[in-house]
Chain A
């Protein structure tokens, strides 16, 4: 009798994610990997290295920049792409605003959902037939039902009632011209898995994931960072009249558009402490930190139907 081998849960998740990335590379002719500089997409890059080294990645990296990203994250994004020697494409929501394809309701409106427009424009510009993204099913109820290979029509729309059946690990990435596939290699990972993987692999992260002191206000029960410097030195998220600014020790659990990402109070200044904090937290990742998801219980589903990844 030979010895039975079982993969640890992280090894299993990693092997599945590598398999999914290779399926995209094998089935699609022009894929792209969405890389924001956030923790999930940082894991995705490590998975891509394990999947394709010593070769180059069979896809470029792309970031849809809202123009309202934390400068630490933008700098990290550029540094990481350069270290890997992979091509990074950046397309900006501000360019879409100039073209008139994105119209904000008011100047302070979150640009997060408008990323969909810029993403679709970039897909058309480069003729991408697949976008690999770092979304996870544990993040949100609509995502729990989305396929690993998710078909989107010409308008980038997800139709939750008309998804392709997905059985075993036999993925169907076929699409007609103009349609495309969104592939999610870390669908089966939880926030905890991501942090454990970061710890195991010793992955570097943008500094704002770790406890640091920053000026914030408390707005409707959420911690809202204020006076956040952008890449061009301008300050954004200015406090409203009458709000009291306090210096608080915080870290970010998710990183996105400044206008809709809130930090949590924490003194976890290294990955091990974050893993322990994640194990004992009482608030979900998005519940704690995504101001845009609180608007309505179904808001992620709505955004996905409109082309969001």
Chain B
């Protein structure tokens, strides 16, 4: 019997932690890793040594998340780091992004793959500008679930009144921004209260611990019906003359961005618009009959249709819009500001198109959350803009479909990724 038959598998959850060092974000992550027994003895002894070297009494769990040499020297986090832990029933990927204003782009990056965000609040300080900024960014990037973690409860005598006041303040703000699924939890990352263990200082709180919330949070793509979207990544034509069965093999390889597919379904290939039916659904050359979101598969069609990378296979009844102009929320990521005169490359699913900016509607001030007029975009700016495209793209609004609503902007001269876009 395999060890995998013994335990249930609740899949994988990717989440993001938002907050600054001052909120105890690194300590929270350290605590999650430590209390789920992810931290092994040698790592622990290394951070114990460092804690002593820096003159600290207790072991500083935040040291677990210090990554690069430069960060260790400066004692800050400068880039997104990924951490892993598992509870036996579920695997977790934490995207750890620095919280400071100038790191908006890092937070957007970390949020792009997350399905849940933990917003940290220092119980002594309550809802701050940065709390609002993080929440707004999380909602902009379409993270469906938020946990507002009111940390450092030990420093406010574990006061329920303080907790309730912060919760009410936050709910008032959230109603304005339109964030829906929010849960609240009081904690002390330092002492480990309500993270994995309940502790005995917060007995007035009868909700689940942080880990219990994570264990039952829905994984991506499991919450509503989605249309079938299959961008073609690669075409397999073995043309093996020794094997007549493979002579006419033409497999369209890709990952299902959303929806499901099975043998016999009627499909349309975009942009040609040619229709066919699914003859076979395969993984590694083996028939699997049907497949669903996030599976990487190979599709064989009943008819010979000329199809290549960049095309999209969809169910005939639910085709997306083919557009040559897009309106989108864009976050500018590069140090060089957007140049209105230049042509950029937009990469959307597996398809590229040249693109030119046609207008900036407004810019979002991430601190006041006001829309301001703007005529340029610099690093960390977020704005609603319009592009015209050289090639049609097959798109869905981002908030309905992250896979077919997202794009990146590439500077063709440096090849750098300079912007991230979410189609409106």
B residues less than 8 Å from A214 (CB atoms): none
The verdict on A174 contacting chain B, using a C-beta distance below 8 Å, is yes
In the complex, A174→B219 CA distance in Å? 32
- What is the minimal beta-carbon distance from A111 to any residue of chain B, in angstroms? 24
CB distance from B310 to the nearest CB of A (A): 9
Cβ of B209 to closest chain A Cβ, rounded Å: 21
Q: Are B79 and A5 in contact (CB under 8 A)?
A: no
Q: What per-residue 1/0 map shows which CB atoms of A14-56 lie under 8 Å from chain B? A: 1110110011011000000000000000000000011111111
Provide the bound-state CA to CA distance between A164 and B81, in Å: 14
- Which of B20-28, B64-72, B318-326, B357-365 forms contacts with chain A? B64-72
Tell me which residues from 184 to 202 in chain A have a Cβ below 8 Å from any Cβ of chain B. Answer: 187-188, 190, 192-193, 196, 199-200
| Pair A15/B3 contact, Cβ less than 8 Å | no
Docked complex Cα distance between A281 and B42 (Å): 11
Closest residue of A by beta carbon distance from B335: A162
- Does A6 contact B222, Cβ atoms closer than 8 Å? yes
**Which residues of chain A are within 8 angstroms of B223 by Cβ–Cβ distance?**
4
Total inter-chain residue pairs, C-beta < 8 Å: 192
Q: A145-B81, A165-B420, A174-B415 are in contact. List 11 more A-B contacts (CB 8 A).
A: A7-B11, A12-B12, A14-B296, A54-B249, A55-B237, A167-B113, A169-B255, A172-B416, A190-B86, A298-B72, A302-B69
Given the complex, which residues of B lie within 8 Å of A15, measured CB to CB?
Answer: 255, 294-296
| Chain A residues in 8 Å Cβ range of B403 | 168
Stretch with Cβ within 8 A of A (4 or more), from B180-188, B193-201, B366-374, B404-412? B404-412
Report B243-287 CB contacts with A as 1/0, cut-off 8 Å.
000100101011100001000000000000000000000011100
Residues of A within 8 A of B41 (CB): 282-283
**What is the chain A residue whose CB lies nearest that of B408?**
A170
Interface residues on chain B, number (Cβ under 8 Å):
75
List A contacts of B4 (CB < 8 A). 10, 196, 199-200
Shortest Cβ distance from A165 into chain B, in angstroms?
Answer: 5
Of B43, B68, B219, B349, the contact of A301 (CB 8 Å cutoff): B68
A58 to B233, CA, bound (A): 13
- Known: A55-B238, A164-B416. Is A196-B12 also a contact (CB below 8 A)? no
Indicate if A84 sits at the interface (CB-CB under 8 A): no
Closest B residue by C-beta to A199: B2
Q: From the candidates A19, A56, A174, name the one contacting B255 in the complex (CB within 8 A).
A: A19
List 5 interface pairs A-B (beta carbons < 8 Å), by A numbering.
Answer: A4-B222, A5-B293, A141-B68, A161-B70, A282-B42
Q: Is the CB of A301 within 8 A of B69?
A: yes
Name A residues whose Cβ lies closer than 8 Å to a Cβ of B.
Answer: 1-2, 4-16, 18-19, 22-23, 25-26, 49-56, 58, 137-138, 141-142, 144-145, 160-161, 163-170, 172, 174-176, 187-188, 190, 192-193, 196, 199-200, 272, 275-276, 281-284, 287-288, 297-298, 301-302
CB 8 Å contact bits of B13-49 with A (1 = contact, 0 = none): 0000000000000000000000000001111001000
Contacts of B76 in A (CB 8 A): none
Q: A15 to B219, alpha carbons, bound, how many Å?
A: 15
CA distance in complex: A175, B413 (Å): 10
Question: Which residues of A sit under 8 angstroms from B2, Cβ to Cβ?
Answer: 199-200, 272
**Is A54 in contact with B238, judged by CB distance below 8 angstroms?**
yes
- Interface pick from B104-112, B122-130, B157-165, B386-394: B104-112
CB distance from B153 to the nearest CB of A (A): 29
Give the complex CA separation of A266 and B295 in angstroms.
Answer: 37
B304-361: which have CB < 8 Å to A?
309, 333, 347-350
Nearest CB of B to A134, in Å: 16
Q: A13-B12, A190-B86, A193-B91 are in contact. Are A172 and B222 (CB under 8 A)?
A: no
Distance of B295 from chain A, by nearest CB (Å): 5
Task: Name the CB-closest residue of B to A305.
Answer: B69
